[in-house]
Structure 1
C-alpha cells in the first residue's frame, strides 16, 4: 500500500500535497522592500554554522507569531557571543511576499491555513538588555558614575 500512496504523490495528487502550480508560485515568490521592526525577547536556539537563530518575542511579528525560527544572522555579527535565555532588544528586517488569491484560497480550504503572504526575517541588530540588577554594571553606566565624581 505504501507504494501506491507514493505513486499518487509523484503523480501530482492534490490530496497529498500542494498542486504543482501552487508550489511553483510559492517557490518563485518575490519579496518586497523590507520593513524594520523592533521587538524585545530572547534567543531560544543558536545555529552558528548556518548563521541562524530561533527567537521568542513578547510582541508578535507582523504575521502574528511570537516565535521566529531560522532568523538569518548577518555574517558581520559575532554569533558566538549570542546567549540563550537572556533578554535582548532585536531590530529585525521583515521581507514580505504576497500570495495570489488563488493560493490563499487553496491553503485555507485544503489545509486550514490562513496565510496571505510568505515572510522572511533577518536580524539587523541586537542589544543585550540589563534586566537583572545583580549583573555587573555596563560600561556606559560606569561612565555616568565617573561623571558624577567630577
Structure 2
C-alpha cells in the first residue's frame, strides 16, 4: 500500500486558522445517533440536508441547559443549529481537489442551540426545557 499523503503545513494552518462568519440559525428535524455524556456532545442524523449537503453532524456540542441524560436516541427532535462557515482560499481549494481528491471550498462548524422533542407523547420533556 502507498504511503498516506501528508497535508502540507500551509494548508493545515489555513484550515486551523479559518475565520468563521456570522452564525446562521437553521432548523432541521432528525434524530440522535449517539450521545456522549462526558463530552456533552451528540451525533445527529437530519432528514433535510444542511448547506454543505450533509445529513449527519458529528460531535455537536450540547448547550449547558440540555442534559445528556434527558435525551433519547432514535426519537424525532427539532434541532436549532447555528451554522458557521469559513471560506477557504482558491489555493487551498485547488490543492485539496488536485492532491487529496477532496472537493471542499469551506469549513463548517455547527453549534446546537436548542433541541425539542417532536413526539406528541413527550410534551412534558419539551415543557421542562422551555422553563429554564
- TM-score, normalising length from structure 2? 0.86
Q: Which has the higher contact order (CA 8 A, sep 6+)?
A: 2
Unpaired runs of at least 5, structure 2: 125-132
Q: For each residue in 1:32-58, what CA deviation from the matched residue of structure 2 results, as whole angstroms up to 9, or x when unmatched?
A: 110000000000000111111000001
Cα distance in 2 for partners of 1:62, 1:49 equals 29
Higher strand share: 2
- Large movers: runs of 4+ above 6 Å: none
CA RMSD, 1 decimal? 1.6
The aligned residue for residue 103 of structure 1 is: 92
Aligned length: 122
- The structure with more radius of gyration: 1
In the TM superposition, residue 118 of structure 1 has moved relative to its aligned partner by 0.6
In the TM superposition, residue 79 of structure 1 has moved relative to its aligned partner by 2.0
Cα distance in 2 for partners of 1:67, 1:106 equals 26
Higher helix share: 1
Cα distance in 2 for partners of 1:113, 1:59 equals 23
- TM-score, normalising length from structure 1? 0.76
The aligned residue for residue 79 of structure 2 is: 90
Contact kept, 8 Å, 2:63 with 2:114, in 1: the verdict is: no
